[in-house]
């Protein structure tokens, strides 16, 4: 157990969650490596949510709440880190949740489904009844017939570049959370939240609750049209560069 007094308590707690997920067969070995890459970028962000990221989260929330057929796509890392938040978002928005894996196996799908169920999530789309999308060269091509296949908007945190591109080519709105503003996923998605997943999901939930309960849904259309993903990415990149410069000067 890490002490709360430890200066890197939050970061170490997140690592603990991933390791636990790995030991339960939810997170892939590759997922641990992917997290390490994310951590390096988060270090440059100062391990906090920037205004730029919060703005992107607002816009992603606008797309999710105004979509006709939205879906949340969950992989191993996402299930391990934010199962509780995924379940809470589902309670607030009723958006279906689909398991979609890069390193796909029936066993991992079942373990992730069980993990999500243990956080209260029901009616999970497992992707076992799937359609194979032709423009994706990985196991991620297998999408649930009732989920991503029919969706107009997909929230896919920690996505890989191929699928982000393929989904946008199919005319879908792709919303992602990725700490690396230079990744192909970040560059090809409709909205990229450059923030750590656990922070981004908490903000997304707060915003979804706000828009749902205050009846400010009329603001959502404007949020969507005034957003430029490239500009937002450049702003995140600049925050990281400035922090690097301040560390070396």
Q: Which is nearer to ligand PTJ, 65 or 164 (CB)?
A: 164
Minimum Å gap between C-beta 28 and ligand PTJ is 5
Minimum Å gap between C-beta 203 and ligand PTJ is 13
3-state DSSP call for residue 240? helix
Instruction: Calculate the alpha carbon distances from 166 to 122, 150, 151, 182, 223 in Å.
Output: 28, 14, 13, 18, 25
Rounded to 10 degrees, the C-alpha dihedral 183/187/189/194 comes to: 60
**C-alpha to C-alpha distance for 185 and 52, rounded to whole angstroms:** 18
Q: Does residue 191 bind ligand PTJ (CB under 6 A)?
A: no
Q: Which residue matches tokens 């945190």?
A: 157
3-state DSSP call for residue 100? coil
Q: Does residue 24 bind ligand PTJ (CB under 6 A)?
A: no
Report the greatest alpha carbon distance in the chain: 55
Q: Which is nearer to ligand PTJ, 10 or 212 (CB)?
A: 10
CB atoms within 10 A of CB 11: 16
Contact string 150-179 vs ligand PTJ (x = CB under 6 A): --------x-x----------------xxx
Q: Which is nearer to ligand PTJ, 49 or 183 (CB)?
A: 183
Which one of residues 101, 164, 174, 207 is an interface residue with ligand PTJ (CB under 6 A)?
101
**C-alpha to C-alpha distance for 55 and 40, rounded to whole angstroms:** 22
First-last CA distance in the chain: 36
Residue 203: name the closest of 9, 61, 15 by CA.
61
Q: Which is nearer to ligand PTJ, 110 or 220 (CB)?
A: 110
Which one of residues 52, 57, 153, 180 is an interface residue with ligand PTJ (CB under 6 A)?
180
Q: Which is nearer to ligand PTJ, 100 or 153 (CB)?
A: 100
**Bridge partners of 142?**
132
Segment 36-75, which members bind ligand PTJ (CB under 6 A)? 37-38, 41, 75
Q: Does residue 130 bind ligand PTJ (CB under 6 A)?
A: no
Q: Does residue 21 bind ligand PTJ (CB under 6 A)?
A: no
Residues that bind ligand PTJ (CB under 6 A): 28, 30-31, 34-35, 37-38, 41, 75-77, 101-103, 158, 160, 177-180, 183, 196-197
């Amino acid at each position: 157990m890490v002490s709360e007094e430890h200066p890197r308590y939050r970061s170490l707690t997140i690592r603990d969650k991933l390791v636990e997920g790995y030991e339960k067969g939810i997170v892939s070995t590759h997922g641990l490596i992917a997290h390490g890459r994310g951590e390096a970028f988060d270090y440059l962000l100062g391990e906090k949510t920037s205004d730029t990221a919060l703005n992107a989260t607002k816009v992603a929330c606008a797309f999710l709440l105004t979509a006709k057929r939205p879906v949340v796509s969950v992989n191993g890392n996402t299930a391990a880190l934010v199962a509780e938040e995924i379940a809470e978002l589902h309670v607030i928005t009723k958006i279906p949740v689909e398991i979609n894996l890069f390193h796909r196996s029936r066993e991992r799908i079942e373990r992730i489904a069980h993990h999500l169920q243990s956080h209260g999530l029901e009616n999970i789309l497992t992707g076992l009844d799937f359609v194979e999308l032709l423009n994706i060269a990985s196991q991620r091509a297998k999408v649930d017939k009732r989920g991503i296949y029919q969706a107009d908007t997909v929230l896919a945190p920690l996505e890989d570049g191929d699928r982000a591109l393929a989904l946008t080519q199919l005319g879908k709105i792709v919303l992602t959370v990725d700490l690396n503003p230079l990744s192909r996923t970040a560059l090809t998605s409709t909205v990229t939240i450059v923030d750590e997943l656990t922070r981004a999901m908490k903000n997304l939930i707060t915003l979804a609750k706000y828009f749902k309960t205050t009846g400010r849904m009329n603001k959502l259309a404007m949020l969507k049209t005034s957003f430029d993903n490239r500009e937002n990415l450049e702003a995140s990149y600049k925050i990281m560069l400035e922090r690097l410069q301040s560390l070396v000067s």
